[in-house]
């Protein structure tokens, strides 16, 4: 994690202030979730994911541009929301508790330990013992790349023990 000061400096230099509505998109990929989460962690109140990402946007024939965009520099005040962050020490102390679920969102190969995650060097294979696997792409409709309906997501998460009454740590 970047320091609050470093994050605030970068966000402000991009023209992102605390009062902005931030819409995050990608192909879609895990990165859009990570960027959205980072802004939520540092106190941005209005963060949204573009459902279906750039894929759906372009499939619908919406306008695209290759020109660089810039916004005037502003001030971003980073105010970390510790309740949504799980430190290594917190993970160690909660591991094995029945009310805690470690949710591994990586690929099946990463979960099984047959592929390294994200180009780590040296590669670390495997998973946290007891973690449940539900790859992030399973949350999306394969054809549209949009999030599945809420009832379907609820059932999918519940089938893995990922329920609102439990503490969930994702990786």
Q: Report all structural domains of the chain as residue ranges with CATH numbers, in order of start.
A: 4-81 (3.40.250.10), 86-170 (3.40.250.10)
CA distances from residue 63 to 52, 56, 60, 67 in whole angstroms, order as listed: 15, 12, 9, 12
Other C-beta atoms lying within 10 Å of the C-beta of residue 65: 6
Helices (H), 15-147: 30-41, 53-59, 88-94, 108-112
Average pLDDT, the chain: 93
Q: What's the mean pLDDT in 105-131?
A: 85
Q: Which has more confidence, 97 or 119?
A: 97
Confidence of residue 119 (pLDDT cuts 50, 70, 90): low
Structure tokens at 170: 């994702």
**Residue 1 confidence (pLDDT):** 81
Q: What is the pLDDT of residue 115?
A: 87
Q: Tell me which of 2-11, 26-35, 96-105, 147-156 is least confident.
A: 26-35
- pLDDT for 120-135, tens place per residue? 667 778 899 999 999 9
pLDDT of residue 123: 72
In this prediction, residue 29 carries a pLDDT of 86
State the pLDDT at residue 50: 96
pLDDT of res. 124: 78
Does residue 32 sit in helix, strand or coil? helix
Q: How confident is the model over 67-83, as a mean pLDDT?
A: 95
Whose CA is closest to 49, among 57, 170, 61, 80?
Answer: 57
Q: Provide the pLDDT for residue 117.
A: 76
pLDDT at 121: 67
Lowest mean pLDDT segment, chosen from 29-33, 101-105, 128-132: 29-33
């Amino acid at each position: 994690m970047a320091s609050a000061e470093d994050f605030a400096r970068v966000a402000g230099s991009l023209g992102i202030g605390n009062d902005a509505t931030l819409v995050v998109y990608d192909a879609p990929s895990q990165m859009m979730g990570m960027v959205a989460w980072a802004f939520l962690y540092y106190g941005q109140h209005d963060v949204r994911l573009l459902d279906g990402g750039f894929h759906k946007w372009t499939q619908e024939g919406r306008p695209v541009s290759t020109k660089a965009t810039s916004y005037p520099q502003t001030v971003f005040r980073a105010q970390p929301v510790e309740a949504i962050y799980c430190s290594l020490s917190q993970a160690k102390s909660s591991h094995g508790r029945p009310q805690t679920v470690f949710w591994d969102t990586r690929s099946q190969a990463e979960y099984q330990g047959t592929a390294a995650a994200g180009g780590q060097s040296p590669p670390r294979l495997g998973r946290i013992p007891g973690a449940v696997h539900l790859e992030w792409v399973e949350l999306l409709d394969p054809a549209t790349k949009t999030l599945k309906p809420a009832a379907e997501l609820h059932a999918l998460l519940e089938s893995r023990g990922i329920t609102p009454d439990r503490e969930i740590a994702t990786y």
